[in-house]
Amino acid sequence: MLGLRLGKQLPMARVTCLPLFSKTIAPLGLRAFSQPVAAPAPRPSARFMKPLIRAEIRHYSTKTAAPGPDKDAKGKALLHKITGFTTFSALLLLVVAGALFCVFILYLILSELFLPSGDTKTFNKAVSLVEQNVQAQEALGMQPGERLKAYGEIAGDKWVRNRPVQSVRQKGQDGKDHLAMRFHVESDAGKHATVYLEQIDTSFWASEFAYVAVELPSKKRIYVVEPKFASKNYVPRAGVFSGLGFLGLSWGPKKD
């Protein structure tokens, strides 16, 4: 009873350390009469705590292992060099062939347009000679200064507008290039004639006409350029490109 009374007379001190754990501390003189309070059990250290279930974790890598030494490394390197050299050579040959082809096409265009022996240059020069010839003007009913319509062979189809000029180039007995050409001319009066000519290349930059002849439908022939390398008895007799002679021209004595 003494302990209880003293407990009533002396105030009790209550200390709260944590929300979950609390204890009552009595004065020092009454600790012997107080009931002992059990101390909380010590918590085990984290390093001594072991999980009840041990999970086995395996790590997998997506990286492949380094390959071992290749026994065919030298052979593959040699094959790679051969393949690269072959590809480079093929591309180089293709580029060179393309460049040569372009140069050849450019040469054909320039020779056709600007060289005296070109077909276009020869055609234009022959038409100008026919327009300036007095006999041809009278036969075609042309007025002084009138221009002629000149064109190639007329196609069988009336819808075909392309009329190419027929020409053949070959090496003559004199060792020079000979160009034979045939085309048609028409005046504003509606009169038509066929022009035959032969041109000889005297050099790379020069050429001259062997003859230029205008043949009318009445078979009358007018020489714009007289034959220089043959007698007038041996002049081309106009054919219809029947294949009986060179460029459809039959060579031989003239027959009236």
Burial class (CB in 10 A: 0-12, 13-18, 19+), 96: exposed
Taking a C-beta distance cutoff of 8 angstroms, is the pair 239, 222 a contact? Answer: no
Q: Which CATH number fits the domain that encloses residue 226?
A: 3.10.450.320
Looking at the fold, whether 242 and 125 belong to one and the same domain comes out as yes
How high is the pLDDT of residue 54? Answer: 58
Looking at the fold, whether 151 and 241 belong to one and the same domain comes out as yes
Which segments in the chain show pLDDT lower than 50?
A: 1-24, 26, 28, 30-34, 233-235, 237-256
Residue 203 inside a domain? The answer is yes
Q: 3-state DSSP helix/strand/coil percent for the chain, to nearest 5?
A: 30, 25, 45
Residue 192's domain spans which residues?
A: 119-155+164-253
Looking at the fold, whether 126 and 232 belong to one and the same domain comes out as yes
Looking at the fold, whether 109 and 125 belong to one and the same domain comes out as no
pLDDT in tens, 187-242: 988 899 999 999 998 887 788 899 999 999 887 899 999 887 555 544 454 443 44
Cα–chain center distance at 38: 99
How high is the pLDDT of residue 183? Answer: 92
Looking at the fold, whether 205 and 169 belong to one and the same domain comes out as yes
How high is the pLDDT of residue 21? Answer: 44
How high is the pLDDT of residue 56? Answer: 66
Looking at the fold, whether 138 and 240 belong to one and the same domain comes out as yes
